[in-house]
Amino acid sequence: MELSLNQDQTQILDFIDSLTRPYATVPMHDISFALTSDELDRELAEGGFLDVMAMEELGPVTAALVVERLARLPFAVEAGASALVRPLLDPALPRPLCLVEEGRLRQPVRFLKPGATVVVVGEGGVRSFTATADFIRSAGDEVLYGYPVAYLTGIPAETRSHDIMPDALRTQWRTALAAEAAGLLAAALQSVTTYVSERKQFGRPIATFQALRHRLAEAQVVTNGCYWLALRAAGTGDAGDAALAALHAQEAAKKVAYDFHQFLGAMGMTLEHPLHLWTYRLKLLTAELGGRGAQAIAAADAIWG
């Protein structure tokens, strides 16, 4: 596996960093549970950053890099499904793309709104439809996930079938989940590291205390693992690699997000620090595709089954 980015990948990430610079910080005095920007979404789409997988010289690894980098923003962007799943179905499908499993329609759906494309994955196949208000129930203030979410109340009788096996789509979905989780973990870790390096207790920064440094180092190792497993899954397209990447990402999110909030002390229980903009997104990702148990079973089936 090539561990160094090539020139094209480096340039694309540099372009993304330049484009997203106005969105790299939280607006002053904002205490929202989720931040979104239609303008940012439009600029990313118009710049072709969500379509790099279709380019032969770039492919799925570059798409995963794009998803990971965009996940680091405090603003939630629908990138994973569009960049890594949509090319398998139809690159012209309207965005945002919402992925749901047929047996889990009661779960909150990320980015669901009228006009979105809902992709339903079931044992009988993969189908899609354009969401309308008749099939959407607002989440209101019921959920605290860091994403704009809504509930799907049903599936219309008329849907479009796609010529792809459900397991193949789940493999790419798991890769997208892992790439996004890797970016969220990296941003949350950076945010916490900055805080504990500046916050002083007993006359010195709390980051200098050994116990905290050890746990931060462990978090860095876990985060790095998520990143490389996601890129491996994108590069191989293997079902086992994707399941392991998603499993590791969901395990890491469950463990590390708790530590991050604890490191911030009382500030970690407020909305004044932006940490929740990443950890609350991780919270929802830990339940996606059936959660850790389902990823472990998928990994076992792919490797030994």
What confidence tens digit (pLDDT) does each residue in 185-204 have? 999 999 988 888 777 677 77
Secondary structure of the chain in HEC code, one letter for each residue:
CCCCCCHHHHHHHHHHHHHCHHHCCCCCCCCCCCCCCHHHHHHHHHCCHHHHHHCCCCHHHHHHHHHHHHHCCCCCCCCHHHHHHHHHHCCCCCCCEEEEEHHHCCCCEECCCCCCEEEEEECCEEEEEECCHHHEEECCCCCCCCCCEEEECCCCCCCEEECCCHHHHHHHHHHHHHHHHHHHHHHHHHHHHHHHHHCEECCEEHHHCHHHHHHHHHHHHHHHHHHHHHHHHHHHCCHHHHHHHHHHHHHHHHHHHHHHHHHCHHHHHCCCCCCHHHHHHHHHHCCHHHHHHHHHHHHHHHHHC
Q: Do 33 and 146 contact (CB within 8 A), yes or no?
A: yes
For residue 75, report the phi and psi dihedrals to the nearest 5 degrees: -85, 130
Which CATH superfamily includes the segment(s) 166-304?
Butyryl-CoA Dehydrogenase, subunit A, domain 3 (1.20.140.10)
Mean pLDDT, residues 150-173: 95
d(CA 185, CA 20): 18
The amino acid sitting at 146 is G
For residue 111, report the phi and psi dihedrals to the nearest 5 degrees: 65, 15
% residues pLDDT > 70 (the chain) = 96
d(CA 290, CA 301): 15
d(CA 58, CA 5): 11
Q: Which of 41-50, 64-73, 142-151, 219-228 has the lowest mean pLDDT?
A: 142-151
Mean pLDDT, residues 63-80: 97
Predicted structure pTM score? 0.94
What average pLDDT does the structure give for the chain?
Answer: 91
Mean pLDDT, residues 223-236: 96
The β-bridge relationship of strands 117-122 and 97-101 is: parallel
Domain ranges of the chain: 166-304
Mean pLDDT, residues 276-296: 94
The confidence band for 301, taking pLDDT boundaries of 50, 70 and 90, is very high
The neighbouring-strand residues paired with 100 are: 120
d(CA 82, CA 86): 5
How high is the pLDDT of residue 211?
74
How high is the pLDDT of residue 173?
97
The amino acid sitting at 249 is A
Q: Flag whether pLDDT at 271 surpasses 90.
A: no
Q: 22 versus 193: which is more confidently predicted?
A: 22
Residue 228 is encoded by which pair of tokens? 């490389």
Q: 154 versus 140: which is more confidently predicted?
A: 154
